[in-house]
DNA sequence: ACAAATTTTTAGATTTGTCTAAATTTTTTA
DNA sequence: TAAAAAATTTAGACAAATCTAAAAATTTGT
């Protein structure tokens, strides 16, 4: 498989995991930042290789093989991200771009050894689960901070938007994975939240709150 | 620069460091396992980018920029090899292929951090020197074991042939970098050597002896 | 239900990197 | 030094991945 084919497979997987199971040419073109005609060409190729189900005008979805392939690439991507943060001291906003390159390195043994070096991590630096060697993958069933009722206490476990801009914003406000947060008040006007973050009181916009995954703590 | 361009640059550098300073199209084609016509095409492209000196029918050589580029790729290659051996437990015969892929990852910061993680190594697992961040590069002036006079004592510091077959042969015979060797006898018939390797006496063919770099120890 | 809008595909072009076969230039050798 | 041999380049083709513009299919709206 070429880098490009792998990137398409990954994009289809990501779009599919947002709910839609049949992906349109346009949606994929937008995700890949390319033109619909290029997508059509690539879908024909991936279809011939048995990685996607594709019928003209009918959209596209991953085959079992395609899904297995996607999980393997995502596994590599996320393990490399852990490596970059844990072993090389990169910050969580710097690693995605480099992992986009590293995920295409071909060596089963390499990724197994890396997994071992990192002590078999279950989550990447953004809180996303790392697929297992044999394709085991648990989607996290986490809630968004914006969905919690007032008074709830929860742990911050992941980010939905993992763009560098958002991550640096979180850094600036000392919001990190593992933080305990309690919802104090919800502003009706703009749906912003007043929360207690560890010891600190903080006002958070709806935009922020709907991009933070949390795990509720029962009291 | 594309992967292919980088591989050509590296190949030219390696051929040039064997003595010939102007590389012929055929020599490069053989090294790259491709056809001479493909080399001609690529040389025109690299020439336009200012990486090589190239005139039709006159062979090719690296410009200053080309040499800088080659050293940077070789630095990455060798640092990744050290990483694979030191941090992931690969053997020295397994790392070259993977490093061929990793050397093309683009991130200055990545390679600097990797250098630091590895504690700024000066040599790769095969005893080859690692170019510095700013292109400093000391060719090793080592002798070959086959060139030493009888009675000399030397340390094994590198391999000339670093093919997996040769490396595994050395493993099988417990010959490793750092070993102390003393030349006991040279067989006139086939130029094979009888050597004392640490405590052990060993017969070594001329083929082997001319692929081991050594550093003489003055007594 | 049918015209309009939207989506998707096709046709044809471009770039990179490769190939084969033919032409050209350089080197060798007689 | 001129023919033969070898090396190199050119010409033309192809696959991968992309693009633009045009055609075709599907969906939407009245
Ligand atoms: Mn990422
Ligand atoms: Mn990618
Ligand atoms: Mn190597
Ligand atoms: Mn390479």
Confidence bin at B66 (pLDDT 50/70/90): very high
Q: Regarding beta strands A153-159 and A180-186, do their DSSP bridges make them parallel or antiparallel, or are they unpaired?
A: antiparallel
Whether chain A has a CB inside 8 Å of the CB on B164: the answer is: no
pTM comes to 0.94
Higher pLDDT, B119 or A138: B119
Asked if residue A219 has pLDDT above 90, the reply is no
Q: Please list, in sequence order, all residues whose beta carbon lies within 8 angstroms of the beta carbon of residue A24, skipping any fewer than 6 positions away.
A: A59
Mean pLDDT: which of A138-152, B70-84, B132-146 is highest? B70-84
Per DSSP, the three-state class of A32 is coil
Task: Specify the pLDDT at position A169.
Answer: 97
Task: Specify the pLDDT at position B141.
Answer: 81
Q: What's the CA gap between A72 and A91, in Å, rounded?
A: 24
Ligand nearest to the CA of A102: 2
Cα B9 to averaged position of ligand 4 atoms, centre (Å): 10
Nearest by CB to residue A107, choosing from B98, B106, B114, is: B98
Task: Specify the pLDDT at position B208.
Answer: 96
Task: Specify the pLDDT at position B139.
Answer: 83
Cα A175 to averaged position of ligand 4 atoms, centre (Å): 41
In percent, how much of chain A has pLDDT > 90?
A: 94
Alpha-carbon torsion angle A58, A62, A64, A70, nearest 10: 180
Per DSSP, the three-state class of A136 is coil
Strand D-contacting residues in B 126-185, CB cut-off 7 angstroms: none
Contact A98 B114 (CB under 8 A): no
Nearest by CB to residue B110, choosing from A98, A110, A114, is: A98
Q: Which helix (H) or strand (E) holds A60?
A: strand A60-62
Q: Gap from A60 CA to C11 C1', in Å? A: 23
Q: What is the mean pLDDT of chain A?
A: 96
Domains A3-62 and A143-216 share a fold: no
Cα A32 to averaged position of ligand 1 atoms, centre (Å): 15
- A215 has which bridge partners? A155
Contact B89 A114 (CB under 8 A): no
B98-120 tens-digit pLDDT: 999 999 999 999 999 999 999 99
Asked if residue B219 has pLDDT above 80, the reply is no
Q: What is the mean pLDDT of chain B?
A: 96
Q: What's the CA gap between A53 and A63, in Å, rounded?
A: 6
Nearest by CB to residue B106, choosing from A87, A94, A101, is: A101
A90-122 tens-digit pLDDT: 999 999 999 999 999 999 999 999 999 999 999
Q: Are B61 and B13 in contact (CB under 8 A)?
A: no
CA angle A32, A36, A40 (to 5 degrees): 100
Residue A155's nearest CA partner among A218, A219, A214 is A214
- pLDDT, average across residues A185-193: 95
Q: Are B208 and B128 in contact (CB under 8 A)?
A: no
- pLDDT, average across residues B37-64: 97
Q: DSSP 3-state helix, strand, coil percentages of chain A (rounded to 5)? A: 40, 20, 40
Q: Are A159 and A170 in contact (CB under 8 A)?
A: yes
CA angle B131, B134, B137 (to 5 degrees): 30
What ranges do the domains of chain B cover?
3-62, 143-216
Residue A165's nearest CA partner among A98, A103, A92, A102 is A92
- pLDDT, average across residues B185-199: 94
Asked if residue B140 has pLDDT above 90, the reply is no
Q: What's the CA gap between B51 and B65, in Å, rounded?
A: 6
Q: Are A49 and A88 in contact (CB under 8 A)?
A: no
- CATH code for the domain defined by B3-62: 1.10.10.10
- pLDDT, average across residues B63-87: 98
Task: Specify the pLDDT at position A141.
Answer: 81
Contact A105 B98 (CB under 8 A): yes
- pLDDT, average across residues B82-102: 98
Fold classification of B143-216 (topology level): SH3 type barrels. (2.30.30)
């Amino acid at each position: 498989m070429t880098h490009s084919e792998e990137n398409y497979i990954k994009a289809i997987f990501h779009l599919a995991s947002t709910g839609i199971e049949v992906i349109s040419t346009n949606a994929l073109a937008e995700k890949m930042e390319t033109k619909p005609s290029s997508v059509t060409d690539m879908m024909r190729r991936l279809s011939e290789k048995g990685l996607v189900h594709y019928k003209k005008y009918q959209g596209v979805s991953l085959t079992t093989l395609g899904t297995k392939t996607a999980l393997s690439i995502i596994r590599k991507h996320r393990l490399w991200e852990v490596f970059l943060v844990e072993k090389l001291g990169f910050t969580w906003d710097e690693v995605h771009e480099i992992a986009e390159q590293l995920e295409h390195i071909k060596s089963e043994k390499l990724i197994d050894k890396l997994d071992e070096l990192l002590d078999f991590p279950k989550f990447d630096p953004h809180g996303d689960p790392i697929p297992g060697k044999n394709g085991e993958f648990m989607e996290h069933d986490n809630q968004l901070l914006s969905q919690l009722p007032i008074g709830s206490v929860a742990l911050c476990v992941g980010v939905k938007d993992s763009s560098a801009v958002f991550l640096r914003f979180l850094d600036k406000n000392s919001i990190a994975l593992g933080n305990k947060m309690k919802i104090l008040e919800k502003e009706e006007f703009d749906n912003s939240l007043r929360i207690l973050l560890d010891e600190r009181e903080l006002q958070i916009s709806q935009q922020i709150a709907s991009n933070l995954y949390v795990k509720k703590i029962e009291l």
